[in-house]
Structures are given as C-alpha cells and as structure tokens.
Amino acid sequence: MAAPLLFLTSSLLVPSGAYILGRCVVAKKLQEGGLDYFEGYSLENWVCLAYFESKFNPTAVYENSVGGYTGFGLFQIRDGQWCGHGRKVCSVSCSELLNPNLKKTIECVKKVVKGKEGMGAWRTWSQNCQFSDTLARWLDGCKL
C-alpha cells in the first residue's frame, strides 16, 4: 500500500514528462539572474530551496490543500499572495512562472525575499536549508 501512495505523491510533484533541470544548470541560471548573495543569501541557499520546492522542475504546479494555495514553478511561488489575479507582490501571472528560462521566476523571488521574512517566506528553506552545515554540496562539481 505504501508504494502506490509514494508513487501518487511523487507524481503530483513531478508529473510524467516534466521538464527537470540539472542541479548545476539551476545554479548557473540563478547565478546569471543575480541571486548569488542577493539580500545576503548565498547561491547555495537558492539551489537548496529550488530542490526542496520543486525538485528542479521549473514547470511544477502543486496544489497545497493544507495551506490553501497553489505553488508555481521552480520556487513554488504562491498564487493569491505572490502571483495571480491582481498580480500581487510579483506583478506577474502565475503561469508566467512556469517558463524554464526562469527570468520571471527570478524577478519574482527577488521581490518576495525583500519582504520582512526574507527566505523564511518559504517554510521548506527554514526546515531544510537555513541551518544546514552542508549547503556547499549544492554547488559541488558545478563550473560557475
């Protein structure tokens, strides 16, 4: 019973045919987008966050029934708060955050992280990246 449940859960996060980027590709795109030490957060923090939010899938859409929102893209930008009707914090439609070139996504996360919570706006960062003493591993082997 656990195996089918695990498959169902993972298929929600990474649907069949999903567009998954490699870890080093993500790091390079985020670096080129100016996220390395943006608001004091290292590139390793951003790559860690991208992994725990979407498993490096820039086209991920995940409905969070507990939180009552849908997350979009590499960083699971929340509708209703950060993107969507009325454009919210990021001044962008949520669907624009599903582009693998990550331009709109990077623009949006820069606005979110400037808020009072910083990267703490993402619970996954607080739980998995904030106090990690192994952040350097996220860039291991990447030629940046």
What is the number of domains present in the chain? 1
For residue 87, what pLDDT is reported? Answer: 62
Structure tokens at 97: 């955050």
Q: Is 4 domain-assigned?
A: no
pTM for the predicted model, two decimal places? 0.85
Q: Report the distance separating Cα 95 and Cα 12, nearest Å.
A: 17
- Give a yes or no: residue 85 inside a domain: yes
Q: Is 121 part of a structural domain of the chain?
A: yes
pLDDT in tens, 83-120: 987 667 999 999 999 999 999 999 999 999 999 999 99
Q: Which residue has the higher pLDDT, 133 or 17?
A: 133
CATH code, domain carrying 106: 1.10.530.10
Q: Check if 117 is active-site.
A: no
Torsion angle of C-alpha atoms 108, 43, 31, 50, degrees rounded to 10: -50
Catalytic residue among 53, 63, 96, 107: 53
DSSP H or E run through 93: none
* Domain contains 13: no
